[in-house]
Structure 1
Amino acid sequence: MKYLICTLFSWGVLGQVLWAQKAVINGKVTEKMSGAVVGASVTLKGTVRGVQTNANGEFVIKGLKEGSYTVLVTSVGFVKKEVSVSVQENEVKTLAFELEEETYTLKDVHVVTSRGVKGNEHLAEVEGYSINATKKNELIVLNNLNANLAMNNSRQIFARTPGISIWENDGSGVQLGVASRGLSPNRSWEFNTRMNGYDITPDPMGYPEAYYTPPMEVVDRIEIVRGASSLQYGSQFGGLMNFILRKPDISTRFTVESQNTTGSNGLFSTFNYVGGTEGRLSYTAYYQKRLGNGWRNHSRFNTDHAHVELSYAVSNKLKIGAEATYMMTEIQQAGGLTDAQFKADARQSLRSRNWFSTPWFIPSINAEYIFNTKTKVSFKGFSTIAERNSVGNVRPITETDVLTATRQVDRDFYTTLGAELRLLTDYKWLGKENTLAAGLRYFRGKIDRKQQGRGTNGTTMDFELSEGDYPRNLDFANVNKAAFLENIFRFNKRFLMTAGVRVESIRSTMEGQFGLSNSTPVLLNPISRSRQFLLFGTGFEYHVSPQSEFYSNISQAYRPVLISDLTPPATTDVIDENLQDARGYNFDFGYRGKVGNYLNFDIDYFYVNYNNRIGTITQTNATGQLYQFRTNLGRSVSQGLEGYAEFNPIAAFLKQSKIGYLSIFASVAYINATYRDFKTTSVVNGQIVETNLAGKRVENAPRTINRFGITYSKKGFSATWQLSDIGKAYADAGNTEVPNAAATTGVIPAYQVQDLSANYKFLKHYNVKAGVNNLTDARYFTRRAGGYPGPGLMPADGRTFYLSAGVKF
């Protein structure tokens, strides 16, 4: 990496010499209402060259060869403008652009909220190298939110995204647990989770748990495409969640930013960022330090995040870059509670010696080549070198933690390598312009899992063993190859269709020692599974008016057998040799759009069919002994309605307001997630009794997920109040109402929680932020854990405060 950085820096210095005497295009972008347009994108079509306008709406593109160029200007809420110019050597060409408000959905521009409403946006029909037309999608722009970003408060970040269920047991803000449409929020494992378009999980096909989440203070936007993303990004039922970090500022040589936050329970966070562009070299770097004592007892955390990104325009056609991301965490785990303990004191903890740590390193490289105004290609190479470490008492919470006893140590080591090549091209067919997206993917992942080690009897974070070796020592490997094609067919100005296919090849292997039986190693029968399959999808989009459209899509989905499915809890358990991967499909039908600059809406019906769900049933062997048999047991269906609307009543009647603006939003979802066929067994009086859970609700799937909010803004000040109203759910597929003694099964009651956040920007460079999370100090929980990080009932945080001050130059 250091050699790459030195090379890029050398190229940047050389570029200043070689291109110092070449042509320059500069100018200013304005609009009628407020003058300068800040942050407008100014690009040279068919090249990788581009900049953003500064605070005065000005831009400059240096180092151009003599010749002809097409300058394209785009900005949120405005119609794109382009002009052709010719420049001579050493010439400075000055241009002026006056933008008009957007009046029709454009292929090359975000379909976004207008200036009257600041809420969720939608992805363009074509965004980067992806086709988003016909798909249910959301674009969360972090700069539009008043939220506790220092703590990655997911309840506020996803407030306007309908149907998102959230696990809120991680008060450190390190791990994100979200899902949609009745799927499990467990570390967001039903999503294909990415950052800047590349993988950040240990293994999307074998262990897709998102232990790493980037600091939201550096995230520019979050792209969410529901299950229809399975063709272009991977087969997951939940779809795509892609964190896009802030890109290098191409309008200035150097910018620096610092945001410092303090709050309840000893919270301190400092976020520091630098970036800019020097010639053809652009760069960013950030560092975040976050620490605190946590709302519950024994829940301290100390995290470090760092990232650096370099981008270099080798020529007008070719751009290369590199990124490196690092995270180190030290998190004390408070453990679970019983229901009685939760009612008595939700802040208490009966586990003082449980710790968790995830060192994470993600290097990546990228390249982009623009052939012409219609065709371009990109390459991303990425790797993950990471660990998942825990030490503590993982016995049921009903058992006392004897402080002199040794603790259990579990460690995972992840090593992955992947690459993706993508092509996007526009072409004409039957007189209409169509778009083709295609791609190739290669991924190799290795997991070294060491578990059940005998640790020390100490109280600090210590992953050393006090004696012996790990009883469980497994090696899991995955090789995934994939290719996809997806096409937009435009029949006229109003109607288009998409069609696509993805071919997947997966080879999974696992071997090693599963455990000990009377001090004798129990070896796992080596597992090797290879499969190849096709996924298909199609959709349509019909523009009813310039600002609204119907959309629909049906796409197949696939979930491979995970490493957790192949490693039963006990050595006596048996895995079905014919265990099948889960298959199914997602269907969407919706209507979205906007009215003027004061109303945004998106309403849809969804249907998720999930076949071959995996579970455990009790069986008897030849000697009459009972054992647990893990196999495919049945099918579930999740269907319902999702709706999002945001209304600005003042903008509806006034072009400009001296008293400020009010924006009211509602994000609602009705989710009926039930099992249609799911076999289960129990032992009654020594006999196995088989039943079927058909009609039972899927676990961790609230039937209603409703969030409402109001934002008031005037000049540099804005404040948002929001209410989350979440329905009842169950922790187990049997829909147990009365919790068991260990609090691992039972009902998860409905709850309401409120948040209030404000932001004031002044003197161009400064800001102050403050807020209260869980305004009414509600006591609630969103999860019952059967194992780590419990086991037991996992309380959510009570009322907390934060205050933040920032500066940017």
Structure 2
Amino acid sequence: MPILAALPLLLASSQTPLPANDQPPLTLPKIEVRHNAEPFWKPKLQYLMPEVDGALITVTTKATVTHMEQIPTVAQDNLTQLFVRTPGIIVSQEQDPLRVNLTYRGLGNPQESEYVLVLQDGIPTELDWIGFPTLYYQPPLQGIREVQVIRGGNSLLYGPEPAPVINFVSKGAVAGAPFGASTEQMIGSDGGWQTYNVVKGSDGDFAYRVAGWINRSDGPRANSGYNVKGVDANLLWTPSTDSQWGLNLHLYDAASNDAGRLTYPQWAANPDLTTTPANREWANRNVVSLTHEQHFGDHWRFYGKAWVGTSELTQRVANPAVPPQPQPSVTNIQDARFRYVGTDLRLRHDFGPGDTLTFGTTLYHSDAPLRGANYTDLLAPRDATGGVPTLVQGRHSDYASVFASSLFRFGPGHHWHIVPSLRFDHEKVSVFETVRPPNLSRPLLNTTVSRNVPLFGLGIGNDFFDNGHLNETYFNVSTGWRPVRFFDIGSPHANIIPGTAPAVQKVLSYELGVHGTPADGLFYDVSVFWMNFHNRIETINLSPIVSIEQNSGDTHNEGFEGELAYDFLHGNSDREHLELFTNLQLLHARFVASAIPNQIGKAPAYAPRYLAKAGITWRRDGHYKIAFTGVSSGSQYWQDSDQDQPGTGGSTLLPARIPAYSVWDLAANWNLTPRVELLGGVSNVFNRVYYSRVWTYGIEPALGRTWYAGFKLSL
């Protein structure tokens, strides 16, 4: 049918008004509507990304989106509340907001989200995208328009990490917008205070948006407070309807005390215990980016971005001690600095009846020196000098890629679509060492590793209709990979034999599903998946003091993922919605190969058998938003060995399993007047005492019941 031939363009220009810098105006072909006059594709876009989003082809992939204007304000960096509508995302909580711990489908430890690629407006937010992909930055959610989550095919679209890609899309400046300003003020538990302030507007071809924020708290434990502050600025120039330029600045500075991890007996006796009263960490991130979009004749478009930035992570770490144990006599300050530059250039060509071709290149380089020194002053400042050097490393990473993907529609009415994708990635990682940690006996490191990684993907889908409502089946097979990190070839924590760098870790994934809007107000998305994670890196101990990082572990991860949402007030003339939603992931993950004895058959870390989320949201656009949401997770192992960590005398310091838990949150916004909005909420409403994060050094207690209240004033 003719309307299907134009469906990708219709989806890319949804009936929902979008800022000019987010979706440039399109000239749509003439279409003939045969089913009905209603925009039947619009409900789908409340839950999914457009099939062609800029230079990204996401049709035939599982790609969901959370629209921030449809949920109450997410305060206190409550990522559990943020991702409650996203199936399968595990938020591994801790009280320190500097570290963001996310994982998915049992593909890797969530420590600092090392197995998930996180972006802001398509730019990686990790400290070092390739060599040190850890996450110590979270953009303020008040400045985010939507959160996109792309599963299979993520490496083909953006580059390394197994799955998924999480992209925070900023609000940004809006062409032609009138002057406006707002201030948001909130107080909360543990001396919490948040402020978010915006000035925005436009003048002729130029538009601007500047936001500044502070997020402070004393923390629930002694030495657990934090102070996070930052500035976002965006300047947009739109010289014509076919061209726009954007200049973006993100400044972020954070400091957090570290109250320490607990053994299980300590957590059971007092989850508010502090074991490291003098530990502290600092993180900052400063990034400038330039973006350009250009429409050419004959259905050609260009999307380009370039960025340059600096990040720094400084950690002051002393051994834990609880009275009457004596305090440690020395602390170590480790400082990692990152200087990076990158560019991403893409072309899109629309041809035929809804067909699209995209191709481009991505380049990235970073320098990341690492230094460590010991000090006898447990409260030594971040910039302390005169310590005893314990580590000095120079580190560099380079990454380059070329890629192409195309959408073809065929068959009667162009119901069928196929998306082949190719990508070729190259990485080069170097580590050279001049000071080796004194507890190690290996030689000084001077090593470089280069990798070439070809990737492929194929997606097939079919649109079908039920009484005028659009549904789609989708099948996707794709490859992905995880880069070799600095620590894989130059760990400062182990006697790794030089020249034993591991090979590329690869993921092959299949997903088969169906989603759509079979009835007014109803959305569903169900799929089954199978993933083979090949060449997982494991530490092989050759002796008590010598080890290698070896590719010896393969896992199979398969399961079911389903999502259902129904709006009981759909079509309400007052724009009122009462939506009930739920989603579920069932996961079976096991080691199928390993060089470690007795490892085959064990479950990898952070792979719960089930992860269920649900909630109800009552909102009326421009008047109020109320949401009661919850997450329930099955038990899960915190390390791949599936073994308890023993203590002395037959005791257990850390049980192998993280117990199952369920947590519920309540949040609300109420527009008292068009310019005054009241904000409030309670996280962990039932005050569940639990933990969902364990690392080698112990348990990270999760937050108990917390509250916040405040207001937003707008001009």
Q: 1:125 aligns with which of 47, 51, 56?
A: 51
1:158 CA displacement: 0.3
RMSD of the TM alignment (CA)?
A: 2.8
Are the equivalent residues in 2 in contact too, given 1:412–1:448 (CA < 8 A)? yes
Q: Equivalent residue of 1:408, what SS?
A: strand
Q: Equivalent residue of 2:268, what SS?
A: helix
Aligned residue in 1 for 2:488: 565
1:528 CA displacement: 1.5
Q: Does 1:536 align with 2:456?
A: yes
1:190-269 mapped onto 2 (5 Å cutoff): 190-269=115-194
1:574 CA displacement: 2.8
Q: Equivalent residue of 1:422, what SS?
A: strand
TM-score, normalised via structure 2 length: 0.91
Are the equivalent residues in 1 in contact too, given 2:90–2:103 (CA < 8 A)? yes
1:252 CA displacement: 2.6
Q: 2:39 aligns with which of 89, 96, 102?
A: 102
* AA partner of residue 128 (structure 1): G
Aligned residue in 1 for 2:420: 499
| CA–CA distance in structure 2, aligned partners of residues 610 and 112 of structure 1 | 31
Which stretch shifts more, 601-610 or 188-197?
188-197
> Cα–Cα, structure 1 residues 279 and 537, in superposed 2: closer, same or farther, change >3 Å?
same
* AA partner of residue 101 (structure 1): E
> Cα–Cα, structure 1 residues 627 and 369, in superposed 2: closer, same or farther, change >3 Å?
same
Aligned residue in 2 for 1:721: 628
Aligned residue in 1 for 2:689: 779
> Cα–Cα, structure 1 residues 43 and 249, in superposed 2: closer, same or farther, change >3 Å?
closer
Are the equivalent residues in 2 in contact too, given 1:576–1:629 (CA < 8 A)? no
> Cα–Cα, structure 1 residues 419 and 617, in superposed 2: closer, same or farther, change >3 Å?
same
| CA–CA distance in structure 1, aligned partners of residues 243 and 394 of structure 2 | 40
> Cα–Cα, structure 1 residues 693 and 744, in superposed 2: closer, same or farther, change >3 Å?
same
| CA–CA distance in structure 1, aligned partners of residues 335 and 303 of structure 2 | 36
Q: Does 1:553 align with 2:476?
A: yes
1:750 CA displacement: 0.6
Aligned residue in 2 for 1:182: 106
| CA–CA distance in structure 2, aligned partners of residues 794 and 551 of structure 1 | 39
Are the equivalent residues in 1 in contact too, given 2:432–2:445 (CA < 8 A)? yes
1:783 CA displacement: 1.4
> Cα–Cα, structure 1 residues 308 and 774, in superposed 2: closer, same or farther, change >3 Å?
same
Q: Deviations over 1:450-506 (max 9, x none)?
A: 13x1135244754414433x2211111111110000000110431100001001122
Aligned residue in 2 for 1:701: 607
Aligned residue in 2 for 1:808: 714
> Cα–Cα, structure 1 residues 252 and 629, in superposed 2: closer, same or farther, change >3 Å?
closer
Are the equivalent residues in 1 in contact too, given 2:264–2:654 (CA < 8 A)? no
Aligned residue in 2 for 1:482: 401
> Cα–Cα, structure 1 residues 411 and 400, in superposed 2: closer, same or farther, change >3 Å?
farther
| CA–CA distance in structure 1, aligned partners of residues 24 and 521 of structure 2 | 35
1:683-698 mapped onto 2 (5 Å cutoff): 691-698=597-604
Aligned residue in 2 for 1:646: 565
> Cα–Cα, structure 1 residues 202 and 714, in superposed 2: closer, same or farther, change >3 Å?
closer
Q: Does 1:734 align with 2:641?
A: yes
> Cα–Cα, structure 1 residues 576 and 736, in superposed 2: closer, same or farther, change >3 Å?
farther
Aligned residue in 1 for 2:391: 472
1:395-406 mapped onto 2 (5 Å cutoff): 395=319, 402-403=326-327, 405-406=329-330
| CA–CA distance in structure 1, aligned partners of residues 618 and 354 of structure 2 | 43
Aligned residue in 2 for 1:712: 618
Q: Equivalent residue of 1:387, what SS?
A: strand
Q: Equivalent residue of 1:574, what SS?
A: coil
Q: Equivalent residue of 2:271, what SS?
A: coil
Aligned residue in 1 for 2:526: 603
| CA–CA distance in structure 1, aligned partners of residues 262 and 322 of structure 2 | 8
Are the equivalent residues in 2 in contact too, given 1:42–1:71 (CA < 8 A)? no
| CA–CA distance in structure 2, aligned partners of residues 635 and 692 of structure 1 | 14
> Cα–Cα, structure 1 residues 272 and 614, in superposed 2: closer, same or farther, change >3 Å?
same
Q: Equivalent residue of 1:350, what SS?
A: coil
1:796 CA displacement: 0.2
| CA–CA distance in structure 2, aligned partners of residues 226 and 692 of structure 1 | 31
Are the equivalent residues in 1 in contact too, given 2:428–2:448 (CA < 8 A)? yes
The number of equivalent residue pairs is: 689
| CA–CA distance in structure 2, aligned partners of residues 42 and 385 of structure 1 | 29
| CA–CA distance in structure 2, aligned partners of residues 328 and 795 of structure 1 | 24
Q: Equivalent residue of 1:592, what SS?
A: strand
Are the equivalent residues in 1 in contact too, given 2:161–2:483 (CA < 8 A)? no
> Cα–Cα, structure 1 residues 739 and 784, in superposed 2: closer, same or farther, change >3 Å?
farther
Aligned residue in 1 for 2:10: none
1:705 CA displacement: 0.7
Aligned residue in 2 for 1:591: 514
1:628 CA displacement: 2.5
1:406 CA displacement: 2.5
Q: 2:674 aligns with which of 742, 764, 771?
A: 764
| CA–CA distance in structure 2, aligned partners of residues 385 and 42 of structure 1 | 29
> Cα–Cα, structure 1 residues 694 and 292, in superposed 2: closer, same or farther, change >3 Å?
same
> Cα–Cα, structure 1 residues 123 and 335, in superposed 2: closer, same or farther, change >3 Å?
same
* AA partner of residue 446 (structure 2): P
Q: Deviations over 1:55-93 (max 9, x none)?
A: xxxxxxxxxxxxxxx866xxxxxxx999xxxxxxxxxxx
1:378-417 mapped onto 2 (5 Å cutoff): 378-393=303-318, 395=319, 402-403=326-327, 405-417=329-341
> Cα–Cα, structure 1 residues 577 and 736, in superposed 2: closer, same or farther, change >3 Å?
closer
Aligned residue in 2 for 1:135: 61
Are the equivalent residues in 1 in contact too, given 2:96–2:256 (CA < 8 A)? no
Aligned residue in 1 for 2:44: 111
1:660 CA displacement: 6.1
| CA–CA distance in structure 2, aligned partners of residues 333 and 661 of structure 1 | 42
| CA–CA distance in structure 2, aligned partners of residues 714 and 381 of structure 1 | 39
| CA–CA distance in structure 2, aligned partners of residues 796 and 42 of structure 1 | 38
Q: Equivalent residue of 2:202, what SS?
A: strand
Q: Equivalent residue of 1:482, what SS?
A: strand
* AA partner of residue 543 (structure 1): D
Q: 1:362 aligns with which of 287, 299, 311?
A: 287
Are the equivalent residues in 2 in contact too, given 1:614–1:634 (CA < 8 A)? yes
Q: Deviations over 1:427-468 (max 9, x none)?
A: 12xxx44100111111111111113x1135244754414433
1:713 CA displacement: 3.3
> Cα–Cα, structure 1 residues 533 and 711, in superposed 2: closer, same or farther, change >3 Å?
closer
Are the equivalent residues in 2 in contact too, given 1:744–1:785 (CA < 8 A)? no
| CA–CA distance in structure 1, aligned partners of residues 144 and 175 of structure 2 | 17
Are the equivalent residues in 2 in contact too, given 1:110–1:124 (CA < 8 A)? no
> Cα–Cα, structure 1 residues 199 and 656, in superposed 2: closer, same or farther, change >3 Å?
closer
Are the equivalent residues in 2 in contact too, given 1:326–1:362 (CA < 8 A)? yes
| CA–CA distance in structure 2, aligned partners of residues 399 and 448 of structure 1 | 37
Aligned residue in 2 for 1:671: 587
Aligned residue in 1 for 2:360: 439
Aligned residue in 2 for 1:423: 347
Percent identity of paired positions between Structure 1 and Structure 2: 22
Q: Does 1:617 align with 2:550?
A: no
Are the equivalent residues in 2 in contact too, given 1:335–1:351 (CA < 8 A)? yes
* AA partner of residue 502 (structure 1): R
* AA partner of residue 111 (structure 1): K
TM-score, normalised via structure 1 length: 0.80
Q: Equivalent residue of 1:535, what SS?
A: strand
> Cα–Cα, structure 1 residues 558 and 170, in superposed 2: closer, same or farther, change >3 Å?
same
| CA–CA distance in structure 1, aligned partners of residues 457 and 488 of structure 2 | 28
Q: Equivalent residue of 1:565, what SS?
A: helix
Q: Equivalent residue of 2:87, what SS?
A: coil
Aligned residue in 1 for 2:446: 526
| CA–CA distance in structure 1, aligned partners of residues 481 and 575 of structure 2 | 52
